[in-house]
Structure 1
């Protein structure tokens, strides 16, 4: 059962880093046109889209990825607390 927690923790961590990399790539316009940029877009944008729909940008700053990372953090620990109680 410990393996389940380790695998889930690793998956959440990797996805958080993918979101951060995708955010950083937005600062360099040509980066999103690369193969890695397009892969990250396909994997991260479906998660970020609902947050972008409800949280408008503040001027030129899009804070929806920050809110998405915080939501992912709470989902991670919520899931872990539920699984810990079950097991």
Structure 2
């Protein structure tokens, strides 16, 4: 594996880490029903995270009115992050350097 793909994997890993934080913010904000989602900041958070969350909404039905799809979304994101981290680790463990 060349250094450039590893660098790209590191950038992707960091991007997914940031996205995870934004996703956590989105889930926490969903607990407050009186928020103004027309606010530019809240609207941006929603626009960034809702397409990803919507992909999982049909897979797990709500339980007692609680949307559990975020749990599956986090599991999928963590799985992807783990695969990327393993790929980066494999590069370094194979004795490759920059």
- Greater C-alpha radius of gyration: 2
- TM-score scaled to structure 2, two decimals? 0.73
Q: 8 Å contact 1:22–1:44 — kept in the other structure? A: yes
Q: Residues 2-13 of structure 1 correspond to what in structure 2 (within 5 A)?
A: 3-13=7-17
Are 1:16 and 2:46 counterparts? no
Q: 8 Å contact 1:23–1:65 — kept in the other structure? A: yes
What secondary structure is seen at the aligned counterpart in 2 of 1:79? helix
What secondary structure is seen at the aligned counterpart in 2 of 1:33? coil
* Structure with bigger RCO (C-alpha 8 Å, 6+ apart): 2
Corresponding residue pairs, total: 87
- TM-score scaled to structure 1, two decimals? 0.81
1:54 paired residue number: 59
Query: Paired residue for 2:42, among 34, 37, 46?
Result: 37
Q: Distance in 1 between matches of 2:37 and 2:74?
A: 20
Q: Please provide the CA RMSD for this pair.
A: 2.2
Structure 2 unpaired stretches of 5+: none
Structure 1 unpaired stretches of 5+: none
